[in-house]
Each structure stands twice: as C-alpha cells, then as structure tokens.
Amino acid sequence: MTQTQTLIPAELLQKSDKILFIAHLALGDFTYLQNFFKAFAEAYPHLSVHLWVDEVRRTSNSAEWGHLKKYSLYDWLGACGFFKKVYTQTYSPELYEASIREARQEHYPIVVSLATLRPHQYATLARAISPDGWIVGMAKPVKFFQPHHRLAYRKLDAAIPSYRVDRANPQHISDVYAHWFRQVGGPELDAAGRFPFVEIPEAWHQHAHKQLATWEFAPRPGKLVFINPYAKTKKRCWPLEHVAELIQAMQRLDAWRDSSFVVNAVPQELAHARQVIGSYRLQRTELFSAEDNFFQLPALLAQCDLIISVETAVMHLANAVHVPVIALMRQKNPEWTPIDRNHSTVITAPNARDWVKAISVEQVIRAIQ
C-alpha cells in the first residue's frame, strides 16, 4: 500500500501539525507497538504525536483509583521521547470527561483509534475529541441487532478492519500491528525493526544490582531464575503452589541446584504470595514486585539467566532484554507467542479451552531439561 492509498490522505499528513492515537494499552501491547509509534514519529518529524491511553478498568469506585493511577505503563510511556503528550487520566468517569474536554482544546486534525475492544465506542470517542478532524478507527462487522454500532462507525472517515487469527497458520501480533500502521502511512519495519526493546535508565540498573545484593544473590554460585505466575485474568495465571513445587523440583536437578529464584507478584497480590510461598520455606527464593517504577521490572529481568512466565508482558520483555524465556500459554492466542523463537520455549495448555493452570510442573521441568 503506497502513501496515496493509505487511510489518511497524504496531503493531510504532510500539512498537519499533530496527530492523536487512541488505544487501550497493556504492557504487552506496547512492547511491540513501541517500535511502530517510534518509526511513525521519525517518519513524520513535523507531526507532534500524542497518545490517549484508555483505561478499560475505568470505575467510580475510588478504592480502585490508587493502583489504576500508578499503572506501570505510564512510567514507560513517560520515558519515550517520541510522544509529545500522553493522556493517562482516564481511570474514573470524571477524569475521563475532563480528559475529553482537554483533548478537544487541541483541535486534532487527525485521530487514529487502535482500540479493538468495543471499537464502535472508540469511534464515538474519537469524534467527540475531534468534531472536525479526520477520524480513522477499528471496525467490526455489524450484526442485525446492532444498529447503534452502524451509527457509531459512520463517525469514521476511514476504517481499519478488525484482525482475525488463522489458527492453522497464525500471524504474529507484530504482523497485525505492521498492517495497522501501514494503513495509516507508517513506514515498513523489517524483522529487526520489529524486535522489542526497552531503554532502561542506568539508575534502575543500579537499583537491580543493589536489590540482588540485598537478597545475597550477587555474587552467586548458580543461575538466577525469574518466575512470573500472574496475569490480569485468572485464565492466564499459574497457581503459586505450582511455582513452589517447580522451585523444589529445579533445586533437585544438578544443573539448577545452586540457583536463586525470584517470584514476581503484582502489588495487590504481594501479601498473599508472601503467605503461600513462605509456607514452603524455600531456599534462595525471594518475592519481587515493581511497586515503585516500571523500570524495576526489566532491569531485574536483564540480570536473570532464565525467565519463566505466563502469557503476559513479562514473556515479551524477556525477549526485549535478551534473556531465554519459557512461556506458559493457553491455546487461544497463538499470535501472542514471544517473537524471539530462538530464545523462547512455549508450553501450551493441553486442551483448547484449558486455562494456563492446566500446565503441569512436570511439563515445565521437561522443557528445562
């Protein structure tokens, strides 16, 4: 697709001074999208690239606002120099409306929604932000009982069809993102250009070294293993009991006998994880949570010899910091396998509808051996 065939008129791209992208981003999404946003900004240096991060967990419950406000993705986005403005205050209805009013003042000539969940709602949001701008957004086929969806899609000037995964020959999620950006005039990225990266500030590298020293994991006689059993949904989590049993099993193997283990926990589950893991009285095992800043996580991952993770951002960040990873996944989303096949081992749940917890400790041990 040449620039004259893209969903944004070439003349409009050249004469505009800014563009707004809308997305509901998870860390895993951005691990691959970052490359495309950066390349787009470099291809159009006259454009000020802004990003609206829509919080799908938006709630009126003020008790939830604390951890939503501290979403670690915001630390990463804030360190990316190619975004001139990032909207992060969308986690409550009041802040959401205030952010819309703020965005309207920008008079965006171009708005692109990359939202795949409820895309009709984001078509409406994009038009609310820019009543007179050129709006591009995702669109799904409309069923006969969804006339309101059809009305919403009429607010788009151009639509990106929703992607479907061919189970027999699945494309990688980076291929999907490449297709999206190709349609809005983004440059082509080869395999090297799509490989995820994370630029970790030196201060956080030093922080990781100090943390390992505090745990007495540096210097250490054996390897350092990072295990992440947590994801946003229970379907993608691995039981803490499995984690403890895996550590015990690895410590019985000659190759891993002297290893040290770090078990990752999301902040809101840290106390429970400490209780469960602590009950096993495991040797050379510590709990970790990136409670202060996102970069705590990749900085520590970079120090590891092996990363074992469920299907969430950690398995993709493992590729970004060039550490071998064993990924525990369901069969549902083959497009989300880690991109670095040479340094990634994927273990899938036995049956199509199984959750990640169906993966046994024995399966992981076989992969390690």
pLDDT given for residue 159 in this prediction? 95
Spans in the chain with pLDDT lower than 50: 1-4
Q: Do domains 3-194 and 202-368 have the same CATH topology?
A: yes
pLDDT given for residue 149 in this prediction? 82
pLDDT given for residue 2 in this prediction? 47
- Residues 21-78 have pLDDT tens digits of 999 999 999 999 999 999 999 999 999 999 999 999 999 999 999 889 989 999 999 9
| Token couple for 100 | 């819309």
Distance CA 110, CA 139 (A): 17
pLDDT given for residue 1 in this prediction? 44
pTM of the model: 0.93
The CATH fold of domain 3-194 = Rossmann fold (3.40.50)
Q: Which residues of 230-243 are buried (b: 16+ CB within 10 A; e: fewer)?
A: bbeeebbbbebebb
- Residues 62-107 have pLDDT tens digits of 999 988 998 999 999 999 999 999 999 999 999 999 999 999 999 9
pLDDT given for residue 4 in this prediction? 47
In terms of Cα–Cα distance, which of 359, 305, 313 is closest to 338?
Answer: 313
Taking the domains of the chain in order of start, what are their residue ranges? 3-194, 202-368
- Beta-sheet strand order (sheet of 306-310): 285-288, 260-264, 224-228, 306-310, 325-329, 344-348
Name the CATH architecture for the domain at 202-368: 3-Layer(aba) Sandwich (3.40)
